[in-house]
């Protein structure tokens, strides 16, 4: 399967999904889940398939905690990153900082790192308990990716060492108050691919998984699709704002909020701060307090704040305070000093023509 065939219109998506979903059925083909369970854990058992998905999802979230077999570094979904020049920081959607979780169709602040956070992930656990939000999020992700990767040993019922998918059937409903943009969704999906590659996933297998995720969740106005073979068809678009690639054919009529999110700032799904910092440690690694456009929420950033803040507070691409020489490959290659030459910042763009007391980017 050539990765170039995976730039998916809807019909291609259905094909690819049915390919990924059906490989566990009796056929000559081995599913990705079975293939990599055998490669990494030898015996294709429910326990080992569940462990494979645990390793994959935990690393995708928390990054690699030790050097990876493939020598690939995995920063993790919880770490800030840059996609196509846009700064991405998904942590506030997981730690309860933003009021963006759909609870009974109302936006709510939910801490999804309440089961021990990364410390639990490090121990190959979904969480340290079985009742936390973190436990439900992570186990549902193991189950979903088990379905996507075609694990032959995953149960089609709620019992067994590797139970069936039992999360929400509509990813649109789950994510709609987050108003996620293309870069954010690409970052999440790309990190799953990077984690897969770090375990030795072949490039065409990694590309197939990322393409399936982008095709199903990374488009706006997608049609009804079942998230698992035994789930009812439901809306799955997670990318829901302007700039998201449109599904082909787009079914924006199915998304009541889509026009609102695109056309009418006032009624766009709002990401309100539940707990927002009011100051940042000036000598710490994230000294810059960056507000959203409404000034109602803020975040502490390593980089300078964006010139035009959005609904959700984000860090800008303006630069990263650094005493060391800036690295050309970092995306912040230009070292800009203050007027005293006593502090500097690494900038994506040029330095100011007349520097002042504080190191800044132009
Ligand atoms: C993550 O993996 C990369 C590549 O193997 C390695 O260089 C890096 O040190 C690892 N990170 C941690 C925290 O072990």
Which residue owns the Cα nearest ligand 1 atom 3?
Answer: 73
Average pLDDT for residues 283-290, to the nearest whole number?
76
Secondary structure (DSSP) of 299-359: EEESBPPPSS--SS----SS-EE-SSPPPGGGS--EEEE-TTSS-EEEESSPPPSS--SS-
3 against 60, higher pLDDT = 60
- Per-residue model confidence as pLDDT tens digits over 73-123: 999 999 999 998 999 999 999 999 988 999 998 889 999 999 999 999 999
- What's residue 258's pLDDT? 53
Sort 341 into a burial class: Cβ within 10 Å, 0-12 / 13-18 / 19+: exposed
Ligand 1 atom having least distance to the Cα of 74: 1
pTM over 0.75? The answer is no
Joined tokens for residue 196: 């897969």
- Number of the ligand 1 atom closest to the C-alpha atom of 72: 4
The DSSP code for 288 is E
Best-predicted range by mean pLDDT (28-32, 78-82, 264-268, 309-313): 78-82
Q: What is the pLDDT of residue 313?
A: 67
Q: Give CA–CA dist 169/230, Å, rounded.
A: 10
| Residue located nearest, by CA, to atom 13 of ligand 1 | 65
Q: Is the pLDDT of residue 27 over 70?
A: no
**pLDDT for the residue 190:** 97
CA-nearest residue for atom 8, ligand 1, is 67
CA angle 159, 14, 260 (to 5 degrees): 95
| Contacts (Cβ under 8 Å, ≥6 apart) of 170 | 227, 234, 235, 236
Ordered by start, the domain boundaries in the chain are 3-262, 276-316, 318-362
Q: Is the pLDDT assigned to residue 39 strictly greater than 70?
A: yes
Task: Reply yes or no: is the peptide bond before residue 338 cis, omega within 30 of 0.
Answer: no
Residue to probe by mutation, ligand 1, list 68, 191, 200, most atoms within 8 Å of CB: 68
Ligand 1 centroid to residue 72 C-alpha, Å? 7
Q: How far apart are CA 321 and CA 286, in angstroms?
A: 9
- Hey, what are 116's tokens? 């021990």
pLDDT band at 317 (very low <50, low <70, confident <90, very high): low
Q: What is the average pLDDT across 163-174? A: 95
pLDDT digits (tens, 9 = 90+) for 341-360: 887 888 777 888 888 877 77
Output the average pLDDT for the chain: 83
Residue nearest to atom 9 of ligand 1 (CA): 67
């Amino acid at each position: 399967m050539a990765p170039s065939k995976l730039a998916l219109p809807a019909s291609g998506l259905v094909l690819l999904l049915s390919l990924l979903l059906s490989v566990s059925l009796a056929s000559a083909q081995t599913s990705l889940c079975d293939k990599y369970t055998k490669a990494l854990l030898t015996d294709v058992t429910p326990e080992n398939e569940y462990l494979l998905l645990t390793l994959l999802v935990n690393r995708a979230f928390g990054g690699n905690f030790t050097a990876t077999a493939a020598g690939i570094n995995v920063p993790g979904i919880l770490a800030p990153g840059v996609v196509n020049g846009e700064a991405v920081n998904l942590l506030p959607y997981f730690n309860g900082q933003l009021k963006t979780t759909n609870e009974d169709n109302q936006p709510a602040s939910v801490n999804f790192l309440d089961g021990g956070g990364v410390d639990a992930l490090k121990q190959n656990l979904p969480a340290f308990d079985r009742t936390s939000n973190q436990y439900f999020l992570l186990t549902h992700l193991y189950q979903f990716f088990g379905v996507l990767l075609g694990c032959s040993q995953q149960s089609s019922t709620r019992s067994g060492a590797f139970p069936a998918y039992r999360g929400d059937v509509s990813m649109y409903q789950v994510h709609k108050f987050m108003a996620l943009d293309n870069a954010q969704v690409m970052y999440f999906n790309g990190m799953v691919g990077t984690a897969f590659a770090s375990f030795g996933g072949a490039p065409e297998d990694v590309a197939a998984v990322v393409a399936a995720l982008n095709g199903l969740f990374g488009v706006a106005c997608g049609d009804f699709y079942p998230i698992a073979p035994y789930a009812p068809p439901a809306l799955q678009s997670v990318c829901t704002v302007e700039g998201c690639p449109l599904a082909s054919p787009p079914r924006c009529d199915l998304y009541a909020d889509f026009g609102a999110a695109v056309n009418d700032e006032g009624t766009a799904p709002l990401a309100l701060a539940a707990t927002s910092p009011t100051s940042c440690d000036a000598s710490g690694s994230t000294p810059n307090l960056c507000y959203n456009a409404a000034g109602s929420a803020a975040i502490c950033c390593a980089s300078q704040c964006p010139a035009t803040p959005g609904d959700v507070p984000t860090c800008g691409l303006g630069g990263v305070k650094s005493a060391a020489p800036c690295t050309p490959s970092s995306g912040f290659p230009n070292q800009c000093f203050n007027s005293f030459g006593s502090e500097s910042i690494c900038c994506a763009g040029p330095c100011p023509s007349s520097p002042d007391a504080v190191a800044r980017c132009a």
